[in-house]
Structure 1
Amino acid sequence: MPTSRDVAKLAGVSQSTVSYVLSGKRPISEETRRRVEGAIAELTFQPNAGARALASQRTQVIGLVAPFGVTSDHSGLLPFIETIARRVREHDHDLLLVTNDEGAQGLVRVAGRRIVDALVVMEVEARDERIPVAAGLDVPVILIGVPDDPAGLPCVDLDFEAGGAMAVAELAESGCRTVAVLGYSAAEIDRGINYVTRFHEGVEREAARRGLPLTTLSPVELDRASIDAALDEVLSAEDEDGELPGLVLPHTEGVAGVLRALADRGLVPGEHLNVVAMSTDAAAEEFTTPLTNVSLEPRDVSRRAVDTLFRLLDPDRSAADGDVPGVELVHPRLTRRASTPARPASGAALPHTA
């Protein structure tokens, strides 16, 4: 197995220079760095993680606290976790998964044992018991989500208020004269997830600005009976011309169930009523009628969170770049698809729904 001494010999440098290239602790000329990296690649040298940790007092590991409870939408987590893992590896670190069910004690355990250099905490609640504990740890912590009191911790999240406003604006622009929101589940509301409140504030603000009558049904569970009951109420609200309200679907995990219930009623998004969903682009495109969506931008949120975390781990870089933002909101992006035609589908014959 090749050693750092072998790398130094092949590159024509000292062993300490190889160490400096690996650790980044001292500036190395670009020409020397290329020679060392070329030797590493040629010898397929793998630095000893334990030795590097002792030398740098770093573990080269980032902890990710992610929700894996029974109510979690695991498919929605994957783009976040994949991007975080890839970005962490680009910084020559590994990722350690810590599940939410460990609560604040999980943070204390991994930080207290010095098995991570920093922590990313996902799905933050409005009044999250982990925040005061996280703020007192001696490792950097960044939150994906915005609690009521971040306690000085940096936060990165989607701008859900802007997303709610964009969904209503799209329905208005596509000709809808009323709007209905099939809200989040009771589990999300009861947990006090901050994005729920921010999303509804954006919806209400934009509907009021445009003078659009708004109906919000909340909570709406994921089971078929709950979805049917919500749709029964929404679809009974035809205006005097027989037009149905535009639908906003914020609960990503519930979109497929709503579309199945609409199909069973003979209703096609974009033909009989307009629909906008909060979802990833991949999910929006997979339905029979591709949905107009406000993207959750999971990869952008994750990239920004990891990049901010490594600024915290490198005080010199942080000082050069300026202060780390307290709360950074990623602006959402709306993509129009078949569920919101550019012009209202007036005159489309509505199927019998009685």
Structure 2
Amino acid sequence: MVTLAEVARHAGVSSSTVSYVISGKRTISGATRQRVEQAISELGYHPNAGARALAGKRSHIIALVVPLRTDVYVPIMMEIAISVTMAARQYGYDVLLITNDEGPEGVRRVAASGLADGVILMDVELEDERIPVLRALNTHAALIGLPEDSTGLSCVDHDFFAAGASCADHLADLGHRDVAFIGYGSAVYQRHAGYAERTLAGFRDRAAARGLRILHRPCEGTYESTAGAFSRILADRPATTGFVVQNEGAIGPLMSLLRTAGRIVPEDASVVALCPEPLAEQYSPRLTAVTGPAQELGRRAVDLLMQRIDGKEPQEVTLLTPVLTVRESSGPAPLHV
């Protein structure tokens, strides 16, 4: 069994340095940290593995890293978190919540402490800085989200590429040719959030194949930012008759702005939202929307993590198929704009 001292010798540092890298209790230079993490990976060191073996039992706790951001839709995040908690209880596990504002250090602290038998990450970015920590510490993990490189990982997510494509198909089938995509704020794309970038990529790809002329306008989700995005769309492309919204906060303002501009939905403009069913149902007219089963994400993630904890180590990516439900907010493109 590899010891902490052997990791220290392999990395050319002191045992205390290795301990600080694992615990995150002190700041260690990037080069030293990388050396230690590489040694941990190469030697296959498992922090607290000996203590766990002597105890003869697991902690029966899993850590769930939940997003703490202003640019996420909190009700969906909470629905997933509740689903994870309920699924974990069926396995006899409790859930420890940690917030992603701690970044890689928070994951390192929990993984190295031995407090949790595994970790579930939410709000996964394409180049997520937390994933190298999980790999270096050989931590049991499941991801709700899909990074750019999913090699050796267990991931479950909505098929956001297909969701974006279905929005383009629906509006193209209705005869729309000028379509705008109102997305999340610029910061979401700058941090390469997988759900935002993959939806936009799927929309763009299918729009090109269907001959749509499109505009993408980021939006913070406030009334003011939505009004700004809407004004730019009409200024740049006055003939726009189709709107796709992937920002829950922007839906209400957009519907109001369309009415103010004298554009009746769906006679003059069609709106398709990527949002939960209850949200789509609360507007008038009710929204045509692309949705996915949030609770299923939580259940699947727990199942994948438990398989890893049991030594089965499933290396797979599961994408849940989105559903487009047609309601009153979308209709044939108007003959004249």
What's the TM-score bracket when you normalise by the shorter of the two chains? 0.7 to 0.9
* Bigger mean CA deviation after superposition, 168-177 or 154-163: 168-177
Residue of 302, 305, 309 corresponding to 1:309: 305
In the other structure, the counterpart of 1:171 is: 171
Supply the distance in 2 between the matched residues of 1:280 and 1:72 (Cα, whole angstroms). 13
Deviations 1:72-129 (A, max 9, x none): 3322312211211111112121111010111111112222221111110011112221
In the other structure, the counterpart of 1:94 is: 94
Quick check: 1:277–1:291 contact (8 Å CA) kept in 2? yes
Counterpart AA for 1:129: E
Give the superposition deviation at 1:204: 1.3
Counting only pairs closer than 5 Å after superposition, residues 200-279 of structure 1 correspond to structure 2 as 200-217=200-217, 219-236=218-235, 237-239=237-239, 244-279=240-275
In the other structure, the counterpart of 2:123 is: 123
Quick check: 1:64–1:95 contact (8 Å CA) kept in 2? yes
Q: Does 1:340 align with 2:336?
A: no
Change (3 A) 1:133 1:339: same
Aligned residue for 1:179, secondary structure, equals strand
Q: How many residues align?
A: 285
Supply the distance in 1 between the matched residues of 2:335 and 2:195 (Cα, whole angstroms). 37
Quick check: 1:277–1:292 contact (8 Å CA) kept in 2? yes
Counterpart AA for 1:339: S
Give the superposition deviation at 1:58: 0.8
Aligned residue for 2:283, secondary structure, equals coil
Aligned residue for 2:120, secondary structure, equals strand
Aligned residue for 2:79, secondary structure, equals helix
Counterpart AA for 1:336: V
Counterpart AA for 1:225: E
Structure 1 unpaired stretches of 5+: 1-52
Counterpart AA for 1:299: Q
Q: Give the TM-score taking structure 2 as reference length.
A: 0.78
Give the superposition deviation at 1:266: 3.9
Quick check: 1:84–1:302 contact (8 Å CA) kept in 2? yes
Supply the distance in 2 between the matched residues of 1:151 and 1:76 (Cα, whole angstroms). 27
Structure 2 unpaired stretches of 5+: 1-52
Deviations 1:126-151 (A, max 9, x none): 22211100112343111111222335
Deviations 1:197-226 (A, max 9, x none): 211221111111111222222x22223232
Give the superposition deviation at 1:337: 0.8
Larger gyration radius, structure 1 or structure 2: 1
Aligned residue for 2:197, secondary structure, equals helix
Give the superposition deviation at 1:332: 0.8
In the other structure, the counterpart of 1:331 is: 321
Quick check: 1:132–1:151 contact (8 Å CA) kept in 2? no
Give the superposition deviation at 1:303: 1.9
Give the superposition deviation at 1:331: 1.4
Supply the distance in 2 between the matched residues of 1:72 and 1:220 (Cα, whole angstroms). 13
Supply the distance in 2 between the matched residues of 1:234 and 1:104 (Cα, whole angstroms). 39
Counterpart AA for 1:303: R
Counterpart AA for 2:171: L
Supply the distance in 2 between the matched residues of 1:347 and 1:254 (Cα, whole angstroms). 27
Quick check: 1:131–1:151 contact (8 Å CA) kept in 2? no
Supply the distance in 2 between the matched residues of 1:105 and 1:161 (Cα, whole angstroms). 31
In the other structure, the counterpart of 1:77 is: 77
* Bigger mean CA deviation after superposition, 61-70 or 145-154: 145-154
Quick check: 1:164–1:203 contact (8 Å CA) kept in 2? yes
Change (3 A) 1:96 1:178: same
Give the superposition deviation at 1:305: 1.3
RMSD between aligned alpha carbons? 2.4
Quick check: 1:135–1:153 contact (8 Å CA) kept in 2? no
Supply the distance in 1 between the matched residues of 2:298 and 2:107 (Cα, whole angstroms). 20
Counting only pairs closer than 5 Å after superposition, residues 16-35 of structure 1 correspond to structure 2 as none
Counterpart AA for 1:145: G
Counterpart AA for 1:143: L
Deviations 1:274-297 (A, max 9, x none): 111111111111112211111133
Aligned residue for 2:272, secondary structure, equals strand
Quick check: 2:177–2:212 contact (8 Å CA) kept in 1? yes
Q: Give the TM-score taking structure 1 as reference length.
A: 0.74
Aligned residue for 1:275, secondary structure, equals strand
Change (3 A) 1:167 1:94: same
In the other structure, the counterpart of 2:291 is: 295
Change (3 A) 1:286 1:201: same
